[in-house]
Amino acid sequence: MNSSTSYLKRPSDRRFLLGLGAILFLFRNIPVHASQPPLRIQKISPPMQIPTVRVLSSDGKQVFFPKPKTEFHLINLWATWCAPCVNELPSLGRFHQRFKSEGFQVTLLSQDKGGPALARQFLAKLGVRQMPFYSDPKGYFFTYFRCRGLPTTLIADQGGFVFARIEGEVDWDSAGVADQIRRALG
């Protein structure tokens, strides 16, 4: 008898494997989610004024980027070709709906060269609606705020100063994301 398969011949080993299989079968539909690590909010010191620069509105018109109207203005720099951006956009849309009445304003700023038509179609396909978005095809904000990658979320105050940023993908559905931003910056 071959020693490499002899363990399957013993009844105790077969019962163990059967039991393990049954346990795995029973727990197959339980979702396993990694918890959102604490946000790595990077303070910008001194805070930088949101530049008076022309961007393209969602309908393709050249406009000046709007000044914040709420306590916290999240400006999310993203692109259709950026996988982490695509992953976080639906949860960012839900965050916007949940917290807009609590002082959080979210504005999307596409970095795509294709302009607002490409961004609009892409957001509709993802189901991200009712969020203000603009297009910065020349990447002015990306360069001005010295971003190192996408997505990057800039956090501005009502005075129009960006005082922090979050680089990388965020699960905006995670419990406590809004509180982490308030605590870190308040």
Q: Note whether 42 and 166 are within 8 A (CB).
A: yes
The neighbouring-strand residues paired with 165 are 42, 154
Compute CA 38 distance to the chain's CA centroid, rounded to the nearest angstrom.
14
112 Cβ contact partners less than 8 Å away, ≥ 6 residues apart: 79, 80, 81, 118, 119, 135, 137
What pLDDT is stored for residue 31 in this prediction? 44
Helices assigned H by DSSP within the chain: 11-26, 83-99, 115-126, 140-144, 177-185
Q: Note whether 106 and 100 are within 8 A (CB).
A: yes
Give the separation between CA 68 and CA 147, rounded to whole angstroms.
Answer: 20
What pLDDT is stored for residue 93 in this prediction? 95
What pLDDT is stored for residue 27 in this prediction? 52
Average pLDDT per consecutive 10 residues, the chain (186 residues; last block may be shorter) = 57 67 54 63 95 95 92 95 97 94 92 94 93 95 97 95 96 90 78
Render 40-68 in DSSP notation, one character per residue.
-EEEEEEEEEPP--EEE-TTS-EEEPPPP
Give the separation between CA 133 and CA 66, rounded to whole angstroms.
Answer: 11
What pLDDT is stored for residue 69 in this prediction? 86
Q: Phi and psi at residue 17, in whole multiples of 5°?
A: -65, -40
Give the separation between CA 186 and CA 184, rounded to whole angstroms.
Answer: 6
> pTM score > 0.85 for this model?
no
